């Protein structure tokens, strides 16, 4: 542990099997833990018009934080805000449009806290 937290790093990847909406989801946050996402970035390697939404899934409902409509292929996009995930939530990315073989890479950095009262310390 470093100053009461552990590093949280994830790389999520999807290869589309067809057109339409697909989701990438990180693991669900376990009871007693909180994740502070300090940096989320993505690269859309696509051949067609797409849309990418980034947010969290809570009790089977999606709450979107960021939206990028028609991102350029091969361009790195990132968030400027910190986001918090608490127990039972999961990072969710919606990838809409494009076609079979299109890829989406999502890179996540943050801090994992075992005791939510330590968040921000």
Domains, the chain: 6-115 (2.60.120.1330)
Is residue 116 over pLDDT 90?
no
Query: Is pTM, for the whole model, over 0.85?
Result: yes
Residues 6 or more apart whose Cβ sits within 8 Å of residue 33: 86, 87, 112, 113, 114, 116
Q: How far is CA 83 from CA 66, 71, 86, 120, in A?
A: 11, 22, 10, 12
Between 98 and 37, the more confident residue is: 37
pLDDT at 32: 92
């Amino acid at each position: 542990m470093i100053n009461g937290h552990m590093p949280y790093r994830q790389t999520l990847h999807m290869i589309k099997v067809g057109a339409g909406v697909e989701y990438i989801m990180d693991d669900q946050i376990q009871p007693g833990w909180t994740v502070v996402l300090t940096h989320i970035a993505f690269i859309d390697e696509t051949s067609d018009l797409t849309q990418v939404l980034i947010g969290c899934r809570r009790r089977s409902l999606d709450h979107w934080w960021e939206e990028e409509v028609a991102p350029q292929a091969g361009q790195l996009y990132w968030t400027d805000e910190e986001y918090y995930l608490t127990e039972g939530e999961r990072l969710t990315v919606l990838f809409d449009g494009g076609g079979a073989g299109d890829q989406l890479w999502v890179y996540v950095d943050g801090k994992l806290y075992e005791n939510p009262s330590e968040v921000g310390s």
